[in-house]
Amino acid sequence: MQVSGNYGRTAGDLVPSAGQVQSRDLNEQDFIKVMMEQLRSQNPLEPQDNNQFFTQMLQFQSLDAMQSMSKALTSLAEVSEIANASTLVGKTVLATREQDPDPVTGMPRAPQEITGVVTKVTFGSTGAMVHLGDQIVPASAITAVS
């Protein structure tokens, strides 16, 4: 795809190569760079169609709104998870926790069942964590509540 103008640059010239980018997704900064280069490179005698420019602006605003909505939904899910887990404080629960493989044979070991009273709930990078005395298990590992 040729960028407007006679400079022979393509949109691919404006986006860093795969070796420089950690993610495959383009972000809003990449979009702005491409759009600014299009404006700089366009022929003044044949400016970009206003409808096309506004369409790009609307696409950018839609992208920004979707990213904001995604962040809000993620936050809502985290709050919901911690709220649900906090209702377990003071209750006896049964949780199943995966164990590390046997250090001698390397074979997987059976999951460990842990029973205890929930003393507190914390939230970490892996989600809501339930404290059963000195044991900490993910809230998602709870299989029974009594």
Predicted structure pTM score: 0.53
DSSP string, 62-102: HHHHHHHHHHHHHHHHHHHHHHHHHTTTTSEEEEEE--PPP
Residue with tokens 């986006």: 15
- And the tokens for 21? 């980018």
Print pLDDT tens along the chain (146 aa): 444 444 444 444 444 444 444 545 666 777 778 777 877 777 777 666 667 777 877 887 888 889 899 999 998 998 899 898 989 999 999 999 888 898 999 899 988 899 999 999 998 888 899 999 888 999 988 999 98
Round to whole Å and give the CA distance between 89 and 1. 59
Query: Environment class of residue 8 by beta-carbon count within 10 Å: exposed (0-12), middle (13-18) or buried (19+)?
Result: exposed
Round to whole Å and give the CA distance between 42 and 48. 7
| Domain boundaries defined on the chain | 11-80, 84-145
- CATH class entry, domain 84-145: mainly beta
Q: Is 141 helix (H, G, I), strand (E, B) or coil?
A: helix
